[in-house]
Amino acid sequence: MRAAISHPFTRNKPLTDQPAIFRKSYAAFLFDMDGTLLSSIAAAERVWSIWARSHGIDVDKFLPTMHGVRAEDTIRKQNLAGIDVAKEVAWVMQAEIDDVDGVMAIDGIVEFLNALPQDRWSIVTSATKELAAARLAAAGIEAPKHIVTAEDVTRGKPAPDCFLLAAERLGVKASDCLIFEDAPAGIAAAEAAGADVMVITATHGHPMETQHATTGDYVGMTISTGDNGRLTVERRVG
What's the CATH architecture for 15-39+102-235?
3-Layer(aba) Sandwich (3.40)
Mean pLDDT of 124-150: 96
Rounded to whole angstroms, how far apart are CA atoms 128 and 87?
Answer: 15
pLDDT at 237: 54
pTM for this entry: 0.84
**Which segments of the chain does DSSP mark as H helices, in order?**
41-54, 59-62, 71-76, 85-98, 109-114, 129-139, 161-170, 184-192
* Residues labelled catalytic: 32, 34
For the chain, the domains span 15-39+102-235, 41-98
Mean pLDDT of 177-194: 96
pLDDT digits (tens, 9 = 90+) for 155-172: 999 999 999 999 999 999
pLDDT at 41: 87
Minimum mean pLDDT among 16-20, 91-95, 169-173, 206-210: which range? Answer: 16-20
Residues in the chain: 238
Mean pLDDT of 193-203: 94
What b/e string do you get for 115-138 counting C-beta neighbours within 10 Å, with b at 16 or more?
ebeeebbbbbbbbbeebbebbbeb
